[in-house]
Structures are given as structure tokens and as C-alpha cells.
Chain A
Amino acid sequence: MRARYAITLTIGILSCIVVAFVMDETRTVSVLSFSLRYAVPLILAAMVGIICERSGIINIGIEGQMLMSAFAGFFGAAITGNLILGTMLGVGTGMIMGALLATGAVAWKMDQIIAGTIINILATGLTSFFYAQGYVLPAITPTLRIPGLADIPLIGPVLFDNGLFTYAAILTALVLWVLLFKTIWGLRTRAVGEMPGSADTSGVNVQRMRFINVTLAGGLAGLAGAYLSIEAASNFDRGMTAGRGFTALAIMIFGAWNPIGALGAALFFGLANGVASQLQADEVIDIPQQFISMLPYVLTIVLLAIVSGRVKPPAAVGKPYEKE
């Protein structure tokens, strides 16, 4: 049922895009490219949420994990003069933040909301305190134009002429789907998030599985953070994640904890923002800029209101595992 709605919606949106493309090629391509770039951190952050919640751990600290990594990534790249090193530093920081959450929420069996909140507060505090002006990145992030594919009209310039982070985000979603539903790791991860007692008696080490997954997911949050400061903004600002970590949780729910679903939801989110921005730039709609900036948050609320109660989270999410 749900899959059919998703397919109908996707076909509808794609048809609109084709019509728009026929009417105005440049604008359509530019809106779509904007939308995709907007979606990149949301896709990655939603994958963080999916990995954690599928393992039974609520991660509301994605926001803080991203912010901390954006900070480490940007200053790492600026100081070392190496974008790759900066990105790796961002990912590493994300994993440390992930391990921090895992220590609280898994090892110490803390309340998971509180553990996540601690991460958010910690990240805001640390990044504001150590923030310094006057640093610049050594270079602009390179884009990768895939020869041949990039020449296809519409699809080419939108999908195959992008920064490396964009490819990484889409690839992550696809690979995560395969991992979750086709591999041993995926089966065990889902078991741990649904019914840890069953996983335990079946020979799966629940605590270790959760710890590792939450830590690895932190690495993806790190990638999302590094994207924001290194590729998207080429700068670090205080609080630059601007709620994306929370929006990603809404996207995760909208995508029914499925990587492909969340990928679609994030793209839809990006598209809504892209279209609205374009309409405003063209002065088709004449409303103050602030209302356009509000759009992601309003959309989050609307989407959650629509889907909440219709999709089911992993059964054991939020509950620390106690052995019998």
C-alpha cells in the first residue's frame, strides 16, 4: 500500500519535472541541482538515524554530531591545507561523537534522549567557544563530471556532474539498503532493534552490535557535517547545521526507516525548497525571504503530522537492553 503511494507520488513529481524541463531547460536544471545539493546532508543524516534506530537506539544527537564534525572538518582542512584530510577529520570526529553516544546510551544504559541532548549541548558549546575567524579553505572542492552520462539531457547535468559528497550520499543510501536487507549484518541489526532478547538467545551480541552501529553511524554524521562546512558553505558558522539533524529524523520517519524511502523523502524535501527559492528569486511569489527560510521547518511539521501513526518504528527503539 505504502509502496504504491510512494510510486504514484514519485511518478507525479517526475512528470512535473519533465514538463518543467520542456518549458524551461536552464531553470529546471538549476532548481534540481540546488535541490539535490540541499538534500545531501539530509540524506546522510537520515541514514545515521536509520542505522541507529534500526539497532534500537534513538539518536537525537545527529545535529550535534554534524556540527562538531563541520567544525573539525573545516578547521582541519584550513589548518592542514588539505581538503581530504579535513574531511577525514570530520568523519573521525563524527565517529568519536557516535562512540560517545554509544557509551552513554548503550554501555551505560542512559536515557537515550538525554544522551543525545548532551551531545547537542556539548557540540554547540565547544564549537562556539573555539570558533575563530579568519580561516579559509585551501581550495574549492572538486566536482566530478562522469563522461558520457553527464551528457544525457536533464539527468546528466543534475545527477552526473556533482561534488564527491553528493555521489557519496546517494551511494550510501543504496548501499545501506542492500546491507540492511540482504546481509547478515542487516538481519542482526534489525533483530537487535526489534527484539533484542531474541537476537541475544540466537547468539547475537546485542550490546556490541549496538555500540558498533551507533559509532559507525556517527561517521556518516561526520561526513554530513564535513559536507556542510567544506563543500556547501566553504566556511564554518556557529550553529550552521540549523536543525538539519532533527529534520533528518523526520525524513527517516517519512521514509519509514527504509534507506530508499528516506532517500526519496530527502530529495522531495530538497525539491520543495528548490522550487520555493526559485519562485521567490523570479518574484513569482512575493513574500518575505524569512517565510522561504521557514519552509523546511514547516514542511517537517506537516510531513510528521501526515505520517505519524502510520509507520511503525523498530519495536525496541529507545529501550536499553537488559538481559533476562
Chain B
Amino acid sequence: MPSDGSQTPILEARGITKRFPGVIANQDVSLSISPGQIVGLLGENGAGKSTLVKMIYGLYEPDEGEIYIKGSPVKLSGPRDAISRGIGMVHQHFQLVPVFTVAENIILGDEPHRSVFINMKKATQEVARLSEQFGLEVDVNARVEDLPVGAKQRVEILKALYRHADLLIMDEPTAVLTPQETDELLQVMRGFADNGVAVIFITHKLREVLAVADTIEVLRGGRVVGTTTPSQTDQAGLAKMMVGRSVLLAVDKKEAQPGEVVLDVEGLSVATDLGLPAVRDVNLQVRAGEILGIAGVEGNGQRELVEALTGLRHCTADRMTVAGKNTLGQSPHAIHGMGVGHVPEDREKDGLVGPYSIADNLVLNRFDEPDFSRRGVRNRSAVGALATELVQEYDVRTPSIDTTVESLSGGNKQKVVIARELAAQPELLIASQPTRGVDVGSIEFIHSRIVAARDRGAAVLLVSAELDEVLGLADRLVVMYDGRLVAEMPAAEVDRARIGRLMAGGDH
């Protein structure tokens, strides 16, 4: 439902400029959004999307330019001010209290009450009403920490709607979602539009923005480099606008040359933290020079499988070997020493030490090798030399190798992880969600590196919730459902619809 142009825009930004020391984050950016309109905000990491929406949400103040909300110029004093003017934001990192119930989270700060007591009944009813109106299904009484990611996000959205948001800013909402959840969310966003709620949808997934946006604003280097609509462009056109050059969206790779079996697993079973079976009697072989992709909806045992293979989780198996060496019951460090590289799905939590420098992070699992330390004393110059080389080779955009990793963007953090794991020349690379939350340009780079590792003769086990990624990268593909590998096929013979059914547990 595109706007008819006669309405007062909910939000208008005119000539916004924001400078930080040394950088211009936004330069002369203008933007207008009408009720019920969905604006896709597209751009690489560092293009200025976040800065722009932070100004709209009152977290930053623009240096130049004006923001108009419903026709009147405003100077927002902070998020609370923005919220009270009907602007809601769904953050990438959920701002929810894990131990609270859904209802408690939603009403926090604006509680229905009788004198000092919270009127929980009224709160529950109100949340249930919103949930129904916008098709956002949640269990009002569930504790947020027990909910899957998709449901947490619905709670975030409901929280904004409860505060009568008529403009919702969604910061990369699909980065954490499975394909099914993504489709549902896109549906929900159309529902907002039908209810007159406007949406700013930040993403770097081209397919999604084309599917749902009314207009698309492309940012690059802090400027709006193009305004378009889904009917006027396609994925290749958008990618070119974003990056400023043509981008290969498909992975460019040669036919695989599978060699010896590297990873050999038989009868592997793993339990969840709660002791429930997560991986059930899995047999798996990955050969040198091939990429085996595991497709599946998240939460079907992929995480536990990867943690078992890398020694991070206790497991039972009849056989678990890498290049003939037993890895069962070995420590993660020992398994790494046998030539296993691991790109964990949660780089912030399991892949990097945020407050450490890039250089230190690059030797996080090799610090004790003779090259990098002697008799317990670190060899700083060797670490520095390696870091300088890797930062260059892997195109990590950073002022220096001593910069802390936590100050890097998502894509650059991931490049640090990939660089570290590949620099050790692993015989087996286990890559879990290697491009989650990473921009288009970096995805292309990371994919090419994984393929290069394969061509060098490494065995690669790729786990991804992005079906496109698995299909594009893998030479051979298995589908994981409910802890079992339910089907195997060469990637060349894949029928998307059949995979979709297998991922949902049907079509055995």
C-alpha cells in the first residue's frame, strides 16, 4: 500500500549531516515516510544506516538538518522522547529482561495499575489484543528467556506497538531469523502497513527488501546514493548500488575434487543443556576438497553437533576421527591442534574476546605455539607480524592491529575469526553460520575464502540457516531435522521445494 502523497509524512528528515571525529557518518541525508509505508534502508556495514536511525530514535543529535515528526520540527532528547512521539525501535540485540514474562516485558515503564499495584489482568488482555490485531503470536505468560529468537523479536515488536508506535524502526530484524520466521515477519510487516503503521526496515538482504519494501533507500559512505522501488530494480542492481561495483551474488567455484575422508563420525549422539537428545545417532563423513553443507531450521541439533565435533560439548559416538586421529573425549584445544578450524555461530560469545586487540584475537588458539611464545613468554613481534599480514590478506577494515575487536563492525569481526581459523591451514574447517549479520561485500569475500580453503584440500563442514548459502557453497548437502540427518544429495541436484519440506520434517 504505497502512500498517496497527500498525507502528512510521519517522519521527514531533511539534509541530515552527522560527523564523528574523523568521519562523516551521514551527509545531507533526506528521507520521508508516510503512514503505512515500508521503507527499506539498504547499505553495507558502515554506510551510515545505524547512525541515521539512531538520530531518528533520539540517541544522537544531528549536526545539521532537521527532523520533522508528523509535520512539526523536533529536537529529540532521547529514546524516551522518541517513544512518546510514536517512534518505536526493534533492536538487533533485544532489549528485553530475560527473566520477565512476555507481558511484564511489554508493559515495563507503562504499567496498567490500580494504585501502586500492577493490574496484570488488564496487561495480559491488552497484550493479547495487540498480538491478535497484528498477527504476532506469543504466549503472554511465558518467560522471555525460554522463547526462541523469533518469539523474542515478536515481543520487542509488541512492546513498541503497546507504546502506540506509528513508526517502527527495525534494525536488521531478519539477521537472527530462520527462513520460515523471516517470511512470517515480512507478512507481519505488510500487516503493519495495512494498519497504518510505517516501517523503516534496515537490512542487507536484497531479497527481503525487494519482497516487502514500498521504497528502497540505498546508503553508501553516509550518503543516499539511490532511491528506488522493487519494481524498478533487482538484486544485482541493488548490490551494485550498495557496494559501488558489480558484486557476485552467486558463489564462483569449480567442481569439487573430493579426496580422502577427513572427518569420520559414526553413531554420534549429543544431549542439550537440559539433557534432552539433540543429536541422534548421526553418521557423517567429509572428504578433503569438498564442502558438506548442513541445511536445516535452527534448533534441530546443528549447534550441539558442531560443539560435539569441536570438543565443546560432551557426546557419545562409536567413532569420531579427523584424518584418522581420534577426537572423541579430547579437549577443544587438542582438537584444534589436530587441524580442525572452527568458525562458531556466535562470534561475539564463542569466537572472539571483545576487549582484546585484533592481534591477540588472531592467535587466540595458537598463542602457545613455538612461533608465538617461548617458555611461556609471548613473542609480541611475531604475533604483530602475523596480524599485520592477516589484516591485509583478509581485508579487515581497522585503524590498527591493536584496535580492540569489540569496536569493529560485524563483518570485520567475522573476518578476524575466519582469518584466524584459516591461517592455521586446517585439514577440517567447521563453519557455523559464517556470514550471519555480515554485509554483502564481506559475504562475497568470506565465501571465496571458504572455497579457496576447499581448493587447497581442506574438508569443510558448513552449517547455515541460510538455505541460499548452503545451496551456493556446498558440494554435497544433508538436511538435519530433529537431531537426525534425514537426507543427503549432491548440491547440483537439489530441489528447493523438497529441501523446504525436509527441513520442516516431512517427505522422508
CB of A184 within 8 A of CB of B111, answer: yes
Question: Complex: how many Å from CA A195 to CA B104?
Answer: 13
> Provided the pairs A194-B99, A195-B98 are in contact, do residues A204 and B109 lie with their beta carbons within 8 angstroms?
yes
Q: Which residues of A lie under 8 Å from residue B109 when comparing CB positions?
A: 188, 199, 202-204
Q: Which residues of A lie under 8 Å from residue B116 when comparing CB positions?
A: 183-185
Q: Which residue of B lies closest to A195 (CB)?
A: B97
Contact of B20 with A by CB under 8 A: no
CB of A201 within 8 A of CB of B118, answer: no
CB of B117 within 8 A of CB of A187, answer: no
Question: Whole-angstrom distance from the CB of B253 to the nearest CB of chain A?
Answer: 41
Q: Which residues of B lie under 8 Å from residue A201 when comparing CB positions?
A: 79-80, 83, 95
Question: Whole-angstrom distance from the CB of B110 to the nearest CB of chain A?
Answer: 7
Q: Which residues of B lie under 8 Å from residue A191 when comparing CB positions?
A: 97, 100, 108
The listed residue (B96, B111, B159) touching A195 by CB distance below 8 A is B96
Q: Which residues of A lie under 8 Å from residue B176 when comparing CB positions?
A: none
CB-CB contacts of A178-199 with B at 8 A, as 1s and 0s?
Answer: 0000111101101100110111
Contact of A324 with B by CB under 8 A: yes
Question: Whole-angstrom distance from the CB of A199 to the nearest CB of chain B?
Answer: 7
Contact of A114 with B by CB under 8 A: no
Question: Complex: how many Å from CA A150 to CA B109?
Answer: 44
CB of B100 within 8 A of CB of A194, answer: yes
CB-CB contacts of A197-213 with B at 8 A, as 1s and 0s?
Answer: 11111111000000000
Q: Which residues of A lie under 8 Å from residue B159 when comparing CB positions?
A: 202
Q: Which residues of B lie under 8 Å from residue A188 when comparing CB positions?
A: 108-109
Q: Which residues of A lie under 8 Å from residue B113 when comparing CB positions?
A: 184
Q: Which residues of A lie under 8 Å from residue B104 when comparing CB positions?
A: 187
Q: Which residues of A lie under 8 Å from residue B96 when comparing CB positions?
A: 195, 198
Contact of A315 with B by CB under 8 A: yes
Contact of B59 with A by CB under 8 A: yes
Q: Which residues of A lie under 8 Å from residue B108 when comparing CB positions?
A: 187-188, 191, 198-199, 202, 204
Q: Which residue of A lies closest to B107 (CB)?
A: A187
Q: Give the contacts of A191-237 with B (CB-CB under 8 A).
A: 191, 194-195, 197-204
Q: Which residues of A lie under 8 Å from residue B117 when comparing CB positions?
A: 182-184
CB of B118 within 8 A of CB of A182, answer: yes
The listed residue (A187, A200, A202, A315) touching B118 by CB distance below 8 A is A187
Question: Whole-angstrom distance from the CB of B176 to the nearest CB of chain A?
Answer: 17
Q: Which residue of B lies closest to A183 (CB)?
A: B116
Q: Which residues of B lie under 8 Å from residue A184 when comparing CB positions?
A: 111, 113, 116-118
Question: Complex: how many Å from CA A188 to CA B95?
Answer: 14
Question: Whole-angstrom distance from the CB of B313 to the nearest CB of chain A?
Answer: 19
Q: Give the contacts of B192-227 with A (CB-CB under 8 A).
A: none
How big is chain B's contact interface, by range?
20 to 34
Q: Which residues of B lie under 8 Å from residue A315 when comparing CB positions?
A: 98-99
Q: Which residues of B lie under 8 Å from residue A190 when comparing CB positions?
A: 97, 99-100
Q: Give the contacts of A222-262 with B (CB-CB under 8 A).
A: none
Question: Whole-angstrom distance from the CB of B22 to the nearest CB of chain A?
Answer: 21
Q: Which residues of B lie under 8 Å from residue A185 when comparing CB positions?
A: 116
* A-side interface residues, number (CB < 8 Å): 20
Q: Give the contacts of B40-98 with A (CB-CB under 8 A).
A: 59, 79-80, 83, 95-98
Q: Which residues of A lie under 8 Å from residue B97 when comparing CB positions?
A: 190-191, 194-195, 198-199
CB of B118 within 8 A of CB of A324, answer: no
Question: Whole-angstrom distance from the CB of B65 to the nearest CB of chain A?
Answer: 22
Q: Which residue of B lies closest to A314 (CB)?
A: B99
Most A CB contacts (10 A, CB to CB) among B97, B107, B111, B116 go to B97
> Provided the pairs A188-B109, A324-B59 are in contact, do residues A198 and B118 lie with their beta carbons within 8 angstroms?
no
Question: Whole-angstrom distance from the CB of B405 to the nearest CB of chain A?
Answer: 19
Question: Complex: how many Å from CA A201 to CA B106?
Answer: 12
Question: Whole-angstrom distance from the CB of B87 to the nearest CB of chain A?
Answer: 12
Question: Complex: how many Å from CA A315 to CA B100?
Answer: 12
Question: Whole-angstrom distance from the CB of A257 to the nearest CB of chain B?
Answer: 11
> Provided the pairs A184-B113, A190-B100 are in contact, do residues A195 and B118 lie with their beta carbons within 8 angstroms?
no
Q: Give the contacts of A16-65 with B (CB-CB under 8 A).
A: none
Q: Which residue of B lies closest to A179 (CB)?
A: B116
Most B CB contacts (10 A, CB to CB) among A190, A199, A203 go to A203
The listed residue (A183, A187, A195, A203) touching B95 by CB distance below 8 A is A195
CB-CB contacts of B113-125 with A at 8 A, as 1s and 0s?
Answer: 1001110000000
Q: Which residue of A lies closest to B108 (CB)?
A: A202
Question: Complex: how many Å from CA A32 to CA B159?
Answer: 50
Question: Complex: how many Å from CA A147 to CA B226?
Answer: 83
The listed residue (B83, B98, B118) touching A194 by CB distance below 8 A is B98
Q: Which residues of A lie under 8 Å from residue B110 when comparing CB positions?
A: 202-203
Question: Complex: how many Å from CA A194 to CA B116?
Answer: 21
CB-CB contacts of A313-324 with B at 8 A, as 1s and 0s?
Answer: 001000000001
> Provided the pairs A187-B111, A188-B108, A203-B109 are in contact, do residues A197 and B118 lie with their beta carbons within 8 angstroms?
no
Q: Give the contacts of B239-282 with A (CB-CB under 8 A).
A: none
CB of B111 within 8 A of CB of A203, answer: no
Question: Complex: how many Å from CA A197 to CA B92?
Answer: 13
Question: Complex: how many Å from CA A184 to CA B117?
Answer: 6
Question: Complex: how many Å from CA A303 to CA B110?
Answer: 39
CB of B98 within 8 A of CB of A197, answer: no
Q: Which residues of A lie under 8 Å from residue B83 when comparing CB positions?
A: 201, 203
Question: Complex: how many Å from CA A222 to CA B107?
Answer: 34
Question: Complex: how many Å from CA A184 to CA B59?
Answer: 26
Q: Give the contacts of A47-97 with B (CB-CB under 8 A).
A: none
Q: Which residues of B lie under 8 Å from residue A324 when comparing CB positions?
A: 59
Question: Complex: how many Å from CA A38 to CA B98?
Answer: 37
Question: Complex: how many Å from CA A28 to CA B411?
Answer: 69
Further 15 A-B residue pairs, CB within 8 A, beyond A187-B107, A202-B159, A203-B83: A182-B118, A183-B116, A183-B118, A184-B111, A184-B113, A190-B97, A195-B96, A195-B98, A198-B96, A201-B79, A201-B95, A202-B108, A203-B80, A204-B108, A324-B59
The 10 closest A-B pairs by CB, nearest first: A202-B109, A203-B109, A198-B95, A195-B97, A202-B108, A183-B116, A194-B97, A201-B79, A184-B111, A203-B80
A/B interface sample: 20 pairs, CB < 8 A: A182-B117, A183-B118, A185-B116, A187-B107, A188-B109, A191-B108, A194-B97, A194-B99, A195-B97, A195-B98, A198-B97, A198-B108, A199-B97, A199-B109, A202-B110, A202-B159, A203-B80, A203-B83, A203-B109, A315-B99
Residues of chain A at the chain B interface (Cβ within 8 Å): 182-185, 187-188, 190-191, 194-195, 197-204, 315, 324
